[in-house]
Chain A
Amino acid sequence: MQHVAIADQPDHLHDPQTFITKYVYSQDHKVIAIQYGVTAIFVGLVALCLSAVMRLQLGFPNTFDFIDPSNYLQFVTMHGMIMVIYLLTALLLGGFGNYLIPLMVGARDMVFPFMNMLSYWAYLLSVIVLLASFFVPGGPTGAGWTLYPPQAILPGTPGYDWGIILMLSSLAIFIIAFTMGGLNYVTTVLQARTHGMTLMRMPLTIWGIFTATVLGLLAFPALLVSAIMMMLDKTLGTSFFMPALVSMGESLDYSGGSPVLFQHLFWFFGHPEVYIVALPAFGMVSDVLATHARKNIFGYRMMVWAIVGIGGLSFFVWAHHMYVSGMDPAFGFFFATTTLIIAVPTAIKVYNWVLTLYRGNIHLTVPMLFAIGFIFTFTHGGLTGLFLGNVVIDLPLSDTYFVVAHFHMVMGVSPIMVLFAALYHWYPLITGKMFNQRLGKIHFWFTFLGTYAIYLPMHYLGFLGVPRRYFAMGSTDFIPESAQSLNASITISALIVGLSQLLFLYNMVSSLRNGKPAGLNPWGATSLEWQTPHAPPRHGNWGPVVPTVYRWAYDYSVPGAELDFIPQNHPVSAAEQTAGDHGEGKS
């Protein structure tokens, strides 16, 4: 097969000549991954600062004159959009996807390196366009990250002209970038694996990233189309989402459009999107758990099918975000059912993570701590999701802080936990240096306890009935004054957690210099990325010959083996042959 043959010969890769081609216009998936990662973390920090400002207003209302109702909404919107799309989606797929896929499936690079490079530059452009909206007249859009029309493009909402236009353009560019990258990831996983790497021998990380990418390729079209339509409504005055209405006392000449249609299209993208964020996290955490518990992931096959199943189901639940949107109420029955069905495969994953630790030999390293933090917070967040999914319970809770608490617990904390677990786990591979364990642990305790202190109480604000996207609660008859003290404490923990991220950044940067060399496979991991001839892996990854795979990615503590791990590229010994099925069931 000549196209595989290409991958087999290093000299067929575009070897970088100059510094520019090596670090700037690089087509090496590892460099592109780092470019993605750094950019994403940078915007992530912007969004983090925005959240701090929001919290200041909510915790101590009417004390800061640099926050007013307009820019509060703008901060909320940018915070949400950046965190979901430009941080998590980009970092998990563009960053980790790019870095890990070729290494873990034993390829020399992505199948279309040039397109891969374009993908990053398009992403960078989309980020620039997004941030540019802070500097245009009227500022960024304040329509909420859901960008619901009509208000998104009507006076009364901050940034209703330039802000929203830039936001929509930025999203469109991001989608193009994602598509170019995504086609690469999918094709690489499906077609460019090394000898012996069957799908059922791939690490769960790859399964998670792969499924998420497929979701992205099928879900982003909905966002693209609704963005185009809203752009036309805004610029040409078409009426896709705009019915006849009276804005600021004058009736506009829109007519006949349907705002609910936008919501359907947005959530047809939006719900898969939240799993685009979740699935790579699911995958990576599985590998971290297995490696540091020195035990094979429990029920690998079920885990794979759960990932695929969740991915598939996620296209049939979107309107659970719309129970109170005024859509045909009959839909409630359908979507409540599908939504709660998703709990079953997800539950299986949670069980299997815990059962992986059960009878393991657990090293409480920094990545492991974050992984445990993930299990705890995700279970909590997922269970609150079941409240919202159960349509009648959503009636009182929708659009309150309960929802905010739910999705932060499940998206703003647990995948972030995995993010950190992964960054610490693969740091030695990416940089060849070991990070500072003590700092890492301190960072963990602040982040884990801090975030729980933020979001557990937030659920109760929701039960009280505090609405989301409120600049200030003002006074009501049913919310006790004491709720304000709750808000204040949430803010304080948020600020502490936010600051403690500096520990992380310092650790990452300083360890580049001072960290001691990590060696080839510091964690004693079995998956291929750790079996490269050099750490960090060089261009082309594998030296002269690509590795051959003989076993699944989880041969930890195999009875009778001399080490407590057997890398995937180690031939199966005669002893094992007789011992019989060793994860070969998984191939």
Chain B
Amino acid sequence: MSATTAGQQHPIGIYLKVWLLLFVLSTFSYLVDFFHIEGYLRWTLILIFMFLKAGFIVAIFMHVAWERLALKYVLLLPLSAIAILIVLMAVEGDYTFLTRHLYFDR
């Protein structure tokens, strides 16, 4: 097997750092709830922490940071379909709620 595959050898240090970082981030996102932060701030924080954690796991632990661009794209491009789905379903969910709210006795 050629270098990179047999490899994915990286200094232990970086794993430990990321590991620590993940703990910190998780603690933060937990504290967001603990201190009852509400509204937009809550959401921005939650999402930031979430994406950071996800990013580190994928990039470092799953070695994507060191993979070839070819693989990166294969993994990321398809998610655009999911993105569209999520956005449209959010709109759809609100629309459904709206009609229920307007016409039903709840």
Contacts and interface: CB of A to CB of B under 8 A. Distances in A.
> Are chains A and B touching in the complex at the 8 Å CB cutoff?
yes
Interface stretch (B17-25, B28-36, B50-58, B87-95): B87-95
Contact of A261 (B1, B2, B84, B89): B89
B36 to A, nearest CB: 27
A258 B88 contact: no
Given A260-B96, A264-B89, A327-B92, A316 B84 contact: yes
Contacts of A1: 1-2
Interface in A216-251: 218
Contacts of B81: 218, 315-316
A495 B85 CA distance: 42
B25 to A, nearest CB: 28
Contacts of A331: 88, 91-92
Given A258-B96, A260-B96, A316-B84, A328 B91 contact: yes
A260 B92 contact: yes
Interface string A200-228: 00000000000000000010000000000
A268 interface: yes
Given A1-B2, A2-B1, A261 B85 contact: no
A330 B92 CA distance: 10
Contacts of B88: 264, 319, 331, 334
Interface in B69-106: 78, 81, 84-85, 88-89, 91-93, 95-96
Nearest to A314: B81
A260 B93 CA distance: 10
A268 B1 contact: no
Given A2-B1, A268-B85, A316-B84, A261 B92 contact: yes
A2 B5 CA distance: 12
Contacts of A261: 89, 92
Interface string A303-331: 00000000000011001000000011011
Contacts of B89: 261, 264
A218 B74 CA distance: 12
Nearest to B70: A190
Contacts, number: 32
Interface string A1-37: 1110000000000000000000000000000000000
Contacts of B95: 327-328
Nearest to A243: B100
Contacts of B96: 258, 260
B1 A328 contact: no
Contacts of A327: 92, 95
Interface in A351-392: none
Contacts of B2: 1
B71 to A, nearest CB: 10
A258 B81 CA distance: 22
A315 B79 CA distance: 11
* Most chain A C-beta atoms within 10 Å of own C-beta, residue among B81, B85, B89: B81
Contacts of B93: 258
A252 B78 CA distance: 40
A66 to B, nearest CB: 42
A2 B1 CA distance: 6
A319 B92 CA distance: 12
A280 B2 CA distance: 34
Contacts of B1: 1-3
B85 A328 contact: no
Contacts of A260: 92, 96
Nearest to B91: A328
Nearest to A244: B104
A330 B1 CA distance: 53
Contacts of A268: 85
A317 to B, nearest CB: 11
Contacts of A330: 91
A90 to B, nearest CB: 24
A544 B104 CA distance: 74
Nearest to B95: A328
Contacts of B92: 260-261, 264, 327-328, 331
Contacts of B85: 264, 268
A143 B78 CA distance: 32
A268 B84 CA distance: 11
A319 B95 CA distance: 15
A554 B85 CA distance: 40
A396 B91 CA distance: 26
A264 B87 CA distance: 13
B4 to A, nearest CB: 12
A1 B2 CA distance: 7
Contacts of A315: 81, 84
A491 to B, nearest CB: 40
Interface in B5-46: none
A330 B2 CA distance: 52
Contacts of A319: 88
A328 B90 CA distance: 11
Contacts of A316: 81, 84
A301 to B, nearest CB: 19
Contact of A218 (B78, B84, B91): B78
Interface in A240-285: 258, 260-261, 264, 268
A488 B84 CA distance: 45
B46 to A, nearest CB: 24
Nearest to B98: A328
A560 to B, nearest CB: 37
* Most chain A C-beta atoms within 10 Å of own C-beta, residue among B84, B88, B89, B95: B88
A334 B89 CA distance: 14
A319 B1 CA distance: 46
A416 B1 CA distance: 44
A331 B92 CA distance: 9
A219 to B, nearest CB: 9
B104 to A, nearest CB: 9
A497 B34 CA distance: 70
15 contacts: A1-B1, A2-B1, A3-B1, A218-B78, A218-B81, A260-B92, A264-B85, A264-B89, A268-B85, A316-B81, A316-B84, A327-B92, A328-B92, A331-B88, A334-B88
What 6 pairs between A and B have smallest CB-CB spacing?
A: A315-B81, A328-B95, A258-B96, A328-B92, A218-B78, A328-B91
Given A218-B78, A260-B92, 7 more contacts: A2-B1, A258-B96, A261-B92, A315-B81, A316-B81, A327-B95, A334-B88
